[in-house]
Structure 1
Amino acid sequence: MLTASSALMSEQRWQTGAKGSLQNLKKFNNQDFNHLRALCLSQGLLFEDATFPAHVSSIGPNLLPEDKLQQIQWKRPTELQQNPYLIMDGVSRFDIMQGEIGCCWMLAALGSLTLQKQFLENVLPKDQGFQDNYAGIFHFRFWQYGDWVDVVIDDQLPFLNGRYLSVHPRTSNEFWPSLLEKAYAKLRGSYQNLHGGYLSDALVDLTGGVQVQLSLKDPPPDLEEILKAADKSKCLIVCSTSGQLRRNIELRNGIVRGHAYTVTGTVKLRYKNGWKHIIRIWNPWGYREWKGPWSDDSPQWKYVEPKCREALLRNKDDGEFWMSCENFQEQFSWLYICNSTPTFLDFGDQHCTMWSVARHIDLWSPVLAPGRNSYSSGAVSTNPQYFFEVPDYDPKSYNVVISLMQRHAEDMQDTKTLKIGFLITMNNSKILKQNFSLSRDVTDYYILNPGTYALIPATTEDQEFEFLLRIFIKSQDYNENSNPLPRPLLPMDVPRQNQDSSYKAVFLRYAKQGSAIDASQLQQLLNEVILQDEMTSLGGRFSFDSCRGILSLMDLNSNGQLTLQEFRILWQSLAKYMDIFSKEDRNHSGFLGVSELKNAIQTAGLATNEHLLLLMTLRYGNAARRIGFSDFVCCMLRLETMTYAFQNLAEGRSQISMTPIEWLTLAMYT
């Protein structure tokens, strides 16, 4: 039988108004901000969050010694200030000062967020404050694994010995930094889980974008161009220094080891008889600055035009400073850039480019994992593959970005991070690219020649995991008057269908009382949904008998019906075989001949020979031994099912032994 280890159908959940979008947020812990606030206001109470209480359990057991944990006090802003505000005079990175907890990685990303209002407004809702309808409750939004999530908190903040345990505002009566950080701590399970983390995770959680990590010890040759493009296109940009074993050690030059910073600007200015590329950087501590060339009091500024110097130089002890690109590469180890699309790769002589994106949520099964030691072509051919088309391109321009993210459970402190990655092949040939990493998000960018590629997500461990795959593809010479770039062609999609035709929507439209589909309902579904396309309809409709055969192949429960889970497996198979059929039917006749059928079987990664081909065309073809799409689906589903059934039975054995009833059960119902 087919199993859930087959690739699953991608869900189109990013449309406007879809669950998990900014217009229809998912509610973290099922808490509704408006409902809870209204309830508190009607009862004259201040909200107390039972799911993230003012208790040491929200701090975490290992963040502080036991005696200090017991000394923590929780106070509301109204207890600290007579006239507190959520935001005063706008949101700025200078509002933030790091507290006792070492969460510089999150605050560096947050500092970058304050520079990009298009992202900030998504994270920090405006429908709250201390002046109107105050009830001790606030909410913030974060992106989690493809969904925007609304996180509700109360405004009780932790203090130790009269000082903020966590981030504290520079202005005493402005509280957005402390409250936003508390919401992020709740999302991640505890304040303890903010004590050390990954910059790349924070960037993605605050934007829902795609991020890239660049080593400054082995930088790409176009690092300066990437930095300028990132700054120009309003990306979030952060960086970090080495020294994870000795964090927060300040060097004589003012740089802190094992620390995260925000890149707040880049500029190329006239200096002496030439040009100089300098970078502006901010320390989330709110103090401790670079003391070398281009620092606040350095002599280099004397050789800069007065107007330019006045515009750029801010001589204050606020944690922000300038340094040259050369010193930046010497002092820092990693650069992280994030945006909705990979605009940081749009540089050079490019004009009017656009990025398309295809998104897929799937479940990776270790049954089909390529293996820990090697990746044979045979192993690759049996794995779920996502095909994408690369159009004409500029050979000097990056044109494909792949992002693979493994899903973390809501209880994130107990989540095991697997070593995941992906392989890229072309024309079922050898592996062209591969990238594996022990991280939540594996992202890489490429310059690929025009053509059709296959991407195979994988893990090096024998463990099932859920993942989000995003494929970004650049289109050159795009302009506002041209047609929108089509989504990349993927076998998990059925692009000929209406946008609302995800497998769940289709299933619910035809299912009996919303729970199952029988053969007659399946026949109606296939003929009305799948055969909308002219090419697939040329070969004839799905008969009732063929639908009974398809149902029996997919009916894992052997009850004559398909559940939603069983239908999902069928749906992804239909999408895959529709894609293969359209590629092999080169003359658009609506039929496959013998040689085309052979190619289709090989593309699907299945085995055949001349005798078996003859039998299949006799069984499923017309008088001319040509097979239409509906018969092709029946043929391929049976071939795939029986192939896997044999492999499962033969696993680890040189011979297969079956009782007559076992054989008849397999032969008569599947």
Structure 2
Amino acid sequence: MLAPGSALTLEQGWQTTGATGSLHNLKKFNNQDFDRLRALCLSQGLLFEDATFPAHISSIGPNLLSEDKLWQIQWKRPTELQRNPYLVLDGVSRFDIMQGEIGCCWMLAALGSLTQQKQFLENVLPRDQGFQDNYAGIFHFRFWQHGDWVDVVIDDRLPFLNGRYLSVYPRTSNEFWPSLLEKAYAKLRGSYQNLHGGYLSDALVDLTGGVQVQFSLKDPPSDLEEILKAADKSKCLMGCSTSGQLGRNVELRNGIVQGHAYTVTGAVKIRYKKGWKHIIRIWNPWGHGEWKGPWSDDSPQWDHVEPKLREALLRNKNDGEFWMSCENFQEQFSWLYICNSTPTFLDFGDQPCTWSMNKHINLWSPVLATGRNNYSSGAVSRNPQYFFKVPDYDPKTYNVVISLMQKHPEDMQDAKKIGFLITMDNSKVLKQNFCLTRDVTSYFILSPGTYAVVPSTAEDQEFEFLLRIFVRNEDYNENLNFPPNPVLPMDVPRQNEDSSYKAIFLRHAKQGSAIDASQLQQLLNEEILKDEMTSLGGRFSFDSCRGILSLMDINSNGRLTLQEFRSLWQRLTKYMDIFRKEDRNHSGFLDVSEFKSAIQTAGLAANEQLLLLMTLRYGDAARRIGFSDFVCCMLRLETMTYAFQNLAAGGSQVSMTATEHGLSPTAATKPPPSEPLPREESGVPGGQLPVAAMRTTTGLHNMT
């Protein structure tokens, strides 16, 4: 570890070449490259000091505190506060977060939801950093910004006022991911001052790159309960907020805080007395202060819930988290916010579907200013029009979501009034209400046909916008040529998981009818590592997923089709059962003897030399093998065994060495193919039906 007193100040990093903005080729915020900056600091034995976001009142902002308090701010590194600091200690949880002096509940409510969804959390919080190895006082975090993923580099000097954290602080004194992540977000938005009050909907999008929809609870959709259940089931990020009419941060007698943002952490329908009850779990980012009404921790309603279910749901602690009925939720809160990579919160049925997405980035110019009362039809005709086709129609199912986002200037606050028109056959069908939010999102039930979206603004000046159009596709067809996105996950019992492989595949097949190594990595980490047993041994790396894909890719095109994935899924469930059986002490790892027994259970063979080499390659320092490494090893062992059996069956005299048995990086032979999948019938309803419904979200909800 470097000495706390030494530091290296660097003005700029380096810009990567090629197309940027994806998770695999990030944009460098302020042109700073984390790996190169850290390497330079380590080579010189100095701690990083970020000149682009310095330990100075300019990073705090001039209006957050009085001038005398601003000059009292002290900046301290975690190594100065704790002997043994950690970035993450025993996993990431919403209960790690405690709100400090700054009114950033809107951001912390989004962060609390993020901690529940690993598929998004791993995008924001890179694992290649910490205080134990290669510490150089430098960290980085990723955020989605107007269509691109951006890597934000910071030093680890944190602001303190009178010995207390100025902003968010960790519940555990030596765990620092909440404070450092918030500092990176403050840098992205210009200052800590710009976190003092903001929009929960903005934070949800910045942490996911997804599409968000806001629902007014004073005029809720009739299917609100179905939306909540679908959102919870499909692992959406969710939050809610209360009205600020009675003042901000005013706590009512019932425990609900006014002008405040919360995280929605669960939504379930349970047996209650002789019927059913829909209840919602909510978390206060203050870490304390809970609802005192029906379904609160000590309420008598829980006495009428089956004991096992009550034990599974109820956490009777003063940690800021509580349950309440859907009726009380609508009474006490004003807005509900839901966000996911695709609009899975609108997928109410159990039948898998996909959402295709088209993205357009362009500049508004004065000719686009059609959002005023006196705009002319000629102005509309001169605007760019973005076309989309609706293939399916169900009068009870939302099938189109349109999201229009404006790119904010540097201070992230100066929003313009924006909206859009929808036309069909060159005639106006729907007009979007205009609002002053960063993005406007609406969801519709549209009949089959071709439509055009016309982005609009009431401003006579040029600025950039991002338009995303999501279209639901009811019937899955392996030959679709548009890019579907993930679909609604299905909670399937363990014994029925093999039959759900298609739903899982569709959820991650973002590039049509096949998945690449990156999508496979997300799928395995999200679907296979759900429980503690499989996750203890570590996650599937990108390189290991490339290796798995090369083994299962019969067509040798670098992607897995549904049929190829079915073969992989059968093996994954088989190896999971074997791993559970052989992990006798439930440690999440197999020792050498357990690993040997697992190989035999799988019907394979390995001599002592091969067993030693496999545990050295795939095991940890104690020669224990976690589940992700076990899968990689077994797939290669099975593949090579199959290949050599084929050679022997052909009359060849084969002697298989350890290197040939799959421990060489060049060994990659295809596995036996599974039987062909039956092709399902699909059809599109005919006829041009009228627009059936529209939902729009236009509220302003600035929370502190």
Give the TM-score taking structure 1 as reference length. 0.69
In 2: Cα distance, 1:173 partner to 1:275 partner: 44
In 2: Cα distance, 1:234 partner to 1:268 partner: 16
Question: Which residue does 2:265 correspond to in 1?
Answer: 264
Closer/same/farther in 2, CA of residues 175 and 294 from structure 1, 3 Å limit: same
Closer/same/farther in 2, CA of residues 386 and 271 from structure 1, 3 Å limit: same
Question: Which residue does 1:464 correspond to in 2?
Answer: 462
1:15-54 matches, cutoff 5 A: 18-54=19-55
In 2: Cα distance, 1:405 partner to 1:485 partner: 23
> Is the contact between residue 390 and residue 448 of structure 1 (CA under 8 Å) also seen in structure 2?
yes
Question: Which residue does 1:170 correspond to in 2?
Answer: 171
Closer/same/farther in 2, CA of residues 131 and 486 from structure 1, 3 Å limit: closer
One-letter amino acid of the structure 2 residue matched with residue 396 of structure 1: K
Question: Which residue does 2:419 correspond to in 1?
Answer: 421
Question: Which residue does 2:344 correspond to in 1?
Answer: 343
What is the deviation of 1:483?
A: 3.0
Question: Which residue does 1:357 correspond to in 2?
Answer: 357
Question: Which residue does 1:641 correspond to in 2?
Answer: none
1:589-668 matches, cutoff 5 A: none
> Is the contact between residue 354 and residue 484 of structure 2 (CA under 8 Å) also seen in structure 1?
no
Identity of aligned residues (%): 84
1:537-577 Cα shifts (integer Å, max 9, x gaps) = xxxxxxxxxxxxxxxxxxxxxxxxxxxxxxxxxxxxxxxxx
Question: Which residue does 1:501 correspond to in 2?
Answer: none
In 2: Cα distance, 1:264 partner to 1:200 partner: 16
Larger radius of gyration: 1
Please say if 1:111 is aligned against 2:120: no
Question: Which residue does 1:626 correspond to in 2?
Answer: none
Question: Which residue does 1:393 correspond to in 2?
Answer: 393
In 2: Cα distance, 1:484 partner to 1:277 partner: 40
In 2: Cα distance, 1:247 partner to 1:435 partner: 28
What is the deviation of 1:482?
A: 4.9
1:59-98 matches, cutoff 5 A: 59-98=60-99
1:401-453 Cα shifts (integer Å, max 9, x gaps) = 001111123x225x521000100011111342323111111111011111111
Question: Which residue does 1:483 correspond to in 2?
Answer: 480
One-letter amino acid of the structure 2 residue matched with residue 477 of structure 1: D
Question: Secondary structure in 1 aligned to 2:71?
Answer: helix
Question: Which residue does 1:160 correspond to in 2?
Answer: 161
1:206-257 Cα shifts (integer Å, max 9, x gaps) = 0000000000000011000000000000000000000167110100000000
Instruction: Between 104-113 and 37-46, report the one with greater CA deviation.
Output: 37-46
One-letter amino acid of the structure 1 residue matched with residue 425 of structure 2: N
Question: Which residue does 1:445 correspond to in 2?
Answer: 443
Question: Which residue does 1:503 correspond to in 2?
Answer: none
Question: Secondary structure in 2 aligned to 1:174?
Answer: coil
Question: Which residue does 2:321 correspond to in 1?
Answer: 320
What is the deviation of 1:171?
A: 0.3
What is the deviation of 1:352?
A: 1.5
In 2: Cα distance, 1:375 partner to 1:299 partner: 59
One-letter amino acid of the structure 2 residue matched with residue 62 of structure 1: N
Please say if 1:220 is aligned against 2:221: yes
In 1: Cα distance, 2:255 partner to 2:368 partner: 51
Closer/same/farther in 2, CA of residues 56 and 466 from structure 1, 3 Å limit: same
In 1: Cα distance, 2:345 partner to 2:451 partner: 23
Question: Which residue does 2:432 correspond to in 1?
Answer: 434
In 1: Cα distance, 2:181 partner to 2:25 partner: 20
Aligned residues: 468
> Is the contact between residue 358 and residue 487 of structure 1 (CA under 8 Å) also seen in structure 2?
no
In 1: Cα distance, 2:481 partner to 2:262 partner: 37
In 1: Cα distance, 2:173 partner to 2:371 partner: 56
> Is the contact between residue 368 and residue 455 of structure 2 (CA under 8 Å) also seen in structure 1?
no
> Is the contact between residue 216 and residue 329 of structure 1 (CA under 8 Å) also seen in structure 2?
yes
Question: Secondary structure in 1 aligned to 2:302?
Answer: helix
Question: Which residue does 1:7 correspond to in 2?
Answer: none
In 1: Cα distance, 2:450 partner to 2:480 partner: 21
> Is the contact between residue 211 and residue 342 of structure 2 (CA under 8 Å) also seen in structure 1?
yes
In 2: Cα distance, 1:487 partner to 1:310 partner: 39
One-letter amino acid of the structure 2 residue matched with residue 187 of structure 1: L
Question: Which residue does 1:10 correspond to in 2?
Answer: none
> Is the contact between residue 95 and residue 169 of structure 1 (CA under 8 Å) also seen in structure 2?
yes
Question: Which residue does 1:180 correspond to in 2?
Answer: 181
1:423-572 matches, cutoff 5 A: 423-478=421-476, 481-485=478-482
What is the deviation of 1:53?
A: 0.5
Question: Which residue does 2:570 correspond to in 1?
Answer: none
Question: Which residue does 1:149 correspond to in 2?
Answer: 150
1:129-144 matches, cutoff 5 A: 129-144=130-145
Question: Which residue does 2:205 correspond to in 1?
Answer: 204
In 2: Cα distance, 1:368 partner to 1:21 partner: 29
In 2: Cα distance, 1:430 partner to 1:45 partner: 63
What is the deviation of 1:463?
A: 1.6
One-letter amino acid of the structure 2 residue matched with residue 23 of structure 1: H
One-letter amino acid of the structure 2 residue matched with residue 199 of structure 1: L
> Is the contact between residue 393 and residue 475 of structure 1 (CA under 8 Å) also seen in structure 2?
no
> Is the contact between residue 426 and residue 432 of structure 1 (CA under 8 Å) also seen in structure 2?
no
In 1: Cα distance, 2:282 partner to 2:371 partner: 43
> Is the contact between residue 369 and residue 383 of structure 1 (CA under 8 Å) also seen in structure 2?
no
Question: Which residue does 1:558 correspond to in 2?
Answer: none
> Is the contact between residue 403 and residue 441 of structure 1 (CA under 8 Å) also seen in structure 2?
yes
> Is the contact between residue 48 and residue 154 of structure 1 (CA under 8 Å) also seen in structure 2?
yes
Question: Secondary structure in 2 aligned to 1:68?
Answer: helix
1:445-496 Cα shifts (integer Å, max 9, x gaps) = 01111111111101012121110110000000226x45354689xxxxxxxx
Question: Which residue does 2:251 correspond to in 1?
Answer: 250
1:615-641 Cα shifts (integer Å, max 9, x gaps) = xxxxxxxxxxxxxxxxxxxxxxxxxxx
Question: Secondary structure in 1 aligned to 2:433?
Answer: strand
Question: Which residue does 1:192 correspond to in 2?
Answer: 193
Closer/same/farther in 2, CA of residues 208 and 395 from structure 1, 3 Å limit: same
Aligned-residue CA RMSD in angstroms? 1.5
In 2: Cα distance, 1:446 partner to 1:435 partner: 14
In 2: Cα distance, 1:244 partner to 1:149 partner: 36
> Is the contact between residue 475 and residue 485 of structure 1 (CA under 8 Å) also seen in structure 2?
no
In 2: Cα distance, 1:194 partner to 1:136 partner: 23
Closer/same/farther in 2, CA of residues 246 and 319 from structure 1, 3 Å limit: same
Closer/same/farther in 2, CA of residues 244 and 194 from structure 1, 3 Å limit: farther
Question: Secondary structure in 2 aligned to 1:430?
Answer: strand
In 1: Cα distance, 2:246 partner to 2:45 partner: 50
One-letter amino acid of the structure 2 residue matched with residue 483 of structure 1: L
In 1: Cα distance, 2:433 partner to 2:386 partner: 16
1:116-143 Cα shifts (integer Å, max 9, x gaps) = 0000000000000000000000000000
> Is the contact between residue 423 and residue 435 of structure 1 (CA under 8 Å) also seen in structure 2?
no
One-letter amino acid of the structure 2 residue matched with residue 90 of structure 1: G
> Is the contact between residue 390 and residue 450 of structure 2 (CA under 8 Å) also seen in structure 1?
yes
Closer/same/farther in 2, CA of residues 66 and 390 from structure 1, 3 Å limit: same
> Is the contact between residue 238 and residue 337 of structure 1 (CA under 8 Å) also seen in structure 2?
yes
Question: Which residue does 1:121 correspond to in 2?
Answer: 122
